[in-house]
Amino acid sequence: MKISYNEIQVLCKKAFSGVGYSVGDYEDAAMMIAWAELHGLEGLAMVEKALPHLSKTVKKPFDICYQDEIFTIIDANNHSILTCGAVITDVIAAKSIRRGTAALRLLNVYNRKLLLGYLGKYALQGHHISATWQASGKVGYIANYQAGNILPVIRRYDTDEVHMNFPKARSMNILFSQQVSFQFSEQETHYATLALETPPNSLQLLEENAYRNGIEVSEKLWHELKALAANNLVPTSEQSRQGAG
Amino acid sequence: MTQPTTDLREPYIAMNLTRLGSLHQTRLSFVRSILRKITDEQWQIKLSKFDLNADGYGTAVYQTTTKNGVYSCIIFAQELSDEKRSDRVIAEAWDITFALISGEADEAIIQQLSQSVPLQEAGRNNPRVLVLSRANRSVRNFSYITDCLTKGEQPDPKQIAKVGYLYRTTAVYGNGKFGIADYHLLLNNDDFSRPFAAQMFAVYLLRDFCVRQVEHIAKQRSENAIKLAPELNRYLGIGNSTGLGMAPFLINHPGLLSKWVLALETAIVRCSKQVVTTENQAQYIEILKKAAQYFKETSTVDEIQQNRYLQVSRDVEDLQEQLNQQQVGKTWGEVLASHSHDKQFESSELFYSILLELFPSLVDDLCDEMGDDEYYQLNAGITLSEMKAIIEARYAWTLSYDFNDPEQNYWFWYSSEEKEEPRLGVKGQEQGEDKQMPLGIAWRVQQFYQAINEFSEANPSAYLADFLLSNPHKRGIARRIQSMSQYVYPEIHANLFAKDLRPLDLLRAKLSFFGVSKFDPKSDKWVRVTMFQGAPTLSELSQNIDFADDWYFPLAPQLSTENTSEVSS
């Protein structure tokens, strides 16, 4: 079935609120999913896989393994990035504003691609950002944002061995800079083959197409999200109906 | 973009909920601005399909051509038993359902929409649909007017005045609901980029259809049937029935609310600085007389609102008396301030809304500044001292409530299983408190303020980032406070948990920006109003009759005898 961007956002907000996310967190989770789906990055497919785990893990906090003025290492305890990605990004951005640069290594985290929408908000504010992660199998990703542009350039690499620039599975490296923009290095191609480059204008086209034609969602996922959203609803009583219009 | 002027009323004045709940339509209201746009840009609107049976059931299509595009409004009229006719949100069938779509409507899309539009919330719609809505008859007016026209008589204006419409809408959906187009698609479309412009336009077209439908039924019943007199046609608006569903909108869209109120307050400041002249004083008095008559003709069974209306009439007479004396040379701000300071909000806000009518060139440009991108961002790099300073500067009003006082902590807001309709429950007495909606901004800010104070005591030089790592669930309110401190009027200064809360004030605040008239509360939680009553009709617009944007305060018409015998063609 086809749904609109706003429907994804609204339903995901309600669903994640129904799971137990707090105000702010459920708004950002919904934004990340909708943004990814709008730009062809399979936001809904990732959510479908993540849903069974979200309801169990939402209350568990992440752990700060190390932090100083610039570097931060956080263990997400095998959560989805929807659970912790926004607040951690807020903190890293704050460090970058203070020190000019900030670096994060995020360990044991799922659904990393979903963070791209949230990083874009900070890029728009004037941060240069680079995010690097390795997906399951032998696929590495780098997303570079130029300050002022909400859309990144995303590169996908095929690799036979794990290159140092691609963090270990279920991890993600994020760099913020106030002064230096991040460029793709030829170094990656020594260890990996560039499989696909998606520039901002391609993401823009995907976005426009999704707005115009709607977004496909499986009825199964739609009903699963609706069921979670229904956790927020209160049964009707005669008392509640009184004068309600 | 217009910069906020320093002479604006303070937020604690402008955002007082009782004041917001006393606002009237103005030149900035969305029904007013869309009609000016239609006429200024000479939109071409034609009825391209009118396929109704003898009972008035069937399909109609209005096609509109603007300089930017083509739109079609497809209206489905169906038979509905009295038992199924309900304005409640739980209704599942309506007399009329309709959709405004982009582009021309061919038979294929009409057929497709005939399967989804009548279902409303239960249907899935084509992304070409910009607005989805439904309406129910005022059975009394519908039957009465149809019977009169069938008999070749014009209906009695006094009878029409009691209701003021043939149909009332019970929801007008936009922005991606049920598969329809996202608002994003309209953002760069000059036709409908202003808030709710597409929705108001669709309702305006429905208003034309309603009259054509009764005229059609009358004609089918009798060869002697006549058309509705133009004065009565103008006097028929579209009703709207609104419940608590509208209330959370203002809390959930604080940036947008701020833009609306800022436009209004900026207009008031600009106009208040103008000097009273003999001419504009006379113009003000004329409008005031019309307003006085309008309020005399407006009544409601709601005692509070009825008393407000009666008091308005008295206050208008007082102001009239004052304006009959020499005021030339003073500023309008001086004149109205001296007269308004001890008046009820319903009256003082009326006086300012009339003032705006004198100076269209100082007001109308603000219509383009009432949208907001709602792009909220958090800066966790500030210190907690800085965060506290923001709260004390912009949210001090939230810190004065005592939530240990049961009177201040009485209600909770929740979503009902009935179509997710917002409702109010009594804390400690009704179920659902654990699922309450986060609408208590004052309570949330106070909780946040206390938490950062406690954290600061243990960590005197802490940054907000440090606090959020320990309290990630407070991000939402932290971001709201920071983001909203960049706006002038984002928050309604009220405790939405308080026992003496009048939810109706929230509804009216929003409806006044829509431009409705005839507030007729049915309880303190729902209200009936009228839209476009007195506005030029579509046929007047299409005949290029000179359009004066002076149709506010609609008065019951006096019928001329020549209008009583025009045979329907």
Confidence of residue A57 (pLDDT cuts 50, 70, 90): low
Pairing of strands A63-67, B70-77: unpaired
Confidence of residue A169 (pLDDT cuts 50, 70, 90): confident
User: Residues 134-163, chain B: which have Cβ within 8 Å of A?
Assistant: none
Query: Could you report the per-residue pLDDT of A174-210, keeping only the tens digit for each?
Result: 999 998 999 887 666 667 788 999 999 999 999 999 9
Interface mutation vs chain B, best among A240, A241, A242, most B CBs within 10 Å? A240
Nearest CA in chain A to B528: A245
Quote the tokens at residue B341.
């300071």
DSSP 8-state code for residue B120: G
Please give the pLDDT value at position A65: 95
Which residue in the set A2, A90, A243 is minimally distant from B475, CB to CB? A90
- Rounded CA-CA distance B96/B133 in Å is 9
Q: Is the dihedral of CA B389, B393, B394, B399 positive or negative?
A: positive
Chain B CB contacts of A93 below 8 Å: 379-381
Confidence of residue A164 (pLDDT cuts 50, 70, 90): low
Which of B237, B227, B212 is closest to B52 using CA atoms? B212
Cβ of residue A30 closer than 8 Å to a chain B Cβ: no
Rounded to a whole number of angstroms, the CA Rg of chain B reads 25
User: Residues 214-243, chain A: which have Cβ within 8 Å of B?
Assistant: 214, 230-237, 239-243
Task: Map tokens 């609102």 to a residue.
Answer: B305
In chain A, which residue ranges form alpha helices assigned H by DSSP?
A: 5-19, 25-38, 43-57, 81-99, 116-125, 187-191, 200-213, 219-229, 238-241
CA distances, B455 to each of A52, A66, B379, B470 (Å): 35, 21, 18, 10
- Whether the per-residue pLDDT at A104 is higher than 90: the answer is yes
Please classify residue A51 by burial: count the beta carbons closer than 10 Å to its beta carbon, then call 0-12 exposed, 13-18 middle and 19+ buried: middle
- Rounded CA-CA distance B74/B202 in Å is 10
Please give the pLDDT value at position A163: 55
Nearest CA in chain A to B418: A236
Task: Map tokens 């598969």 to a residue.
Answer: B179
Nearest CA in chain B to A20: B435
- pLDDT tens per residue, chain B (569 residues)? 555 667 999 999 999 999 999 999 999 999 999 999 999 999 999 999 999 999 999 999 999 999 999 999 999 999 998 888 887 767 889 999 999 999 999 999 999 999 999 999 999 999 999 999 999 999 999 999 999 999 999 999 988 888 899 999 989 999 889 999 998 888 889 999 999 999 999 999 999 999 999 999 999 999 999 999 999 999 999 999 888 988 899 999 999 999 999 999 999 999 999 999 999 999 999 999 999 999 988 888 899 999 999 999 999 999 998 888 888 899 999 999 988 888 999 999 999 999 999 999 999 999 999 999 888 889 999 999 999 999 999 999 999 999 999 999 999 999 999 888 899 999 999 999 999 999 999 999 999 999 999 999 999 999 999 999 999 999 999 999 999 999 999 999 999 999 999 999 999 999 999 999 999 998 888 899 999 999 999 998 887 666 789 999 999 998 765 555 443 33
Quote the tokens at residue B203.
């309702």
Please give the pLDDT value at position B375: 85
Which residue in the set A10, A121, A243 is minimally distant from B524, CB to CB? A243
Please give the pLDDT value at position B569: 35
Q: What is the largest CA-CA distance in chain B?
A: 87
Please give the pLDDT value at position B241: 86
Interface mutation vs chain A, best among B86, B124, B184, B483, most A CBs within 10 Å? B184
Q: What angle do CA B236, B237, B243 make, to 5 degrees?
A: 140
CA distances, B161 to each of B24, B212, B523, B540 (Å): 19, 19, 21, 21
- Rounded CA-CA distance B258/A232 in Å is 28
Phi, psi dihedrals of residue B349, rounded to the nearest 5°:
-70, -30
CA B13, distance to chain mean position in Å, is 21
Question: Residue B178 is which amino acid?
Answer: F
> Does the distance separating the beta carbons of A87 and B469 come in below 8 Å?
yes
Question: Residue B430 is which amino acid?
Answer: E
- Beta-carbon contacts of B116 under 8 Å, excluding residues fewer than 6 positions away, are B123, B124, B125, B126
Phi, psi dihedrals of residue A3, rounded to the nearest 5°:
-130, 165
Chain A CB contacts of B247 below 8 Å: none
Question: Kind and range of the H or E element at B467?
Answer: helix B464-470
Chain A CB contacts of B520 below 8 Å: none
Please give the pLDDT value at position B418: 84
Confidence of residue A60 (pLDDT cuts 50, 70, 90): low
Please give the pLDDT value at position B561: 57
Name the 3-class secondary structure at B349: helix
Which of B160, B172, B81, B146 is closest to B568 using CA atoms? B146
CA distances, A198 to each of A151, A194, B88, B94 (Å): 10, 11, 49, 48
- Whether the per-residue pLDDT at A157 is higher than 50: the answer is yes
Question: Kind and range of the H or E element at B173?
Answer: strand B165-173
Please give the pLDDT value at position B565: 44
Quote the tokens at residue B398.
């939230």
- Beta-carbon contacts of B341 under 8 Å, excluding residues fewer than 6 positions away, are B348
Phi, psi dihedrals of residue B477, rounded to the nearest 5°:
-75, -35
Query: Could you report the per-residue pLDDT of A68-87, keeping only the tens digit for each?
Result: 999 999 999 988 999 999 99
Please classify residue B472 by burial: count the beta carbons closer than 10 Å to its beta carbon, then call 0-12 exposed, 13-18 middle and 19+ buried: buried
Q: Are B456 and B387 in contact (CB under 8 A)?
A: no
Backbone φ/ψ region at B196: left (φ over 0), alpha (ψ -120 to 50), beta: left
Q: Chain B: nearest CA to A17, how far in angstroms?
A: 10
Interface mutation vs chain B, best among A4, A64, A96, A236, most B CBs within 10 Å? A4
- Rounded CA-CA distance A90/A87 in Å is 5
Quote the tokens at residue A192.
């990996």
Please give the pLDDT value at position A161: 61
**How many beta carbons lie within 10 A of that of residue B477, not counting itself?**
24
Q: Are B117 and B125 in contact (CB under 8 A)?
A: yes
Question: Residue B12 is which amino acid?
Answer: Y
> Does the distance separating the beta carbons of B526 and A231 come in below 8 Å?
no
Phi, psi dihedrals of residue B26, rounded to the nearest 5°:
-140, -175
Pairing of strands B411-416, B237-242: unpaired
- Rounded CA-CA distance A77/A32 in Å is 20
- Beta-carbon contacts of A113 under 8 Å, excluding residues fewer than 6 positions away, are A36, A41, A42, A46, A133, A135, A141
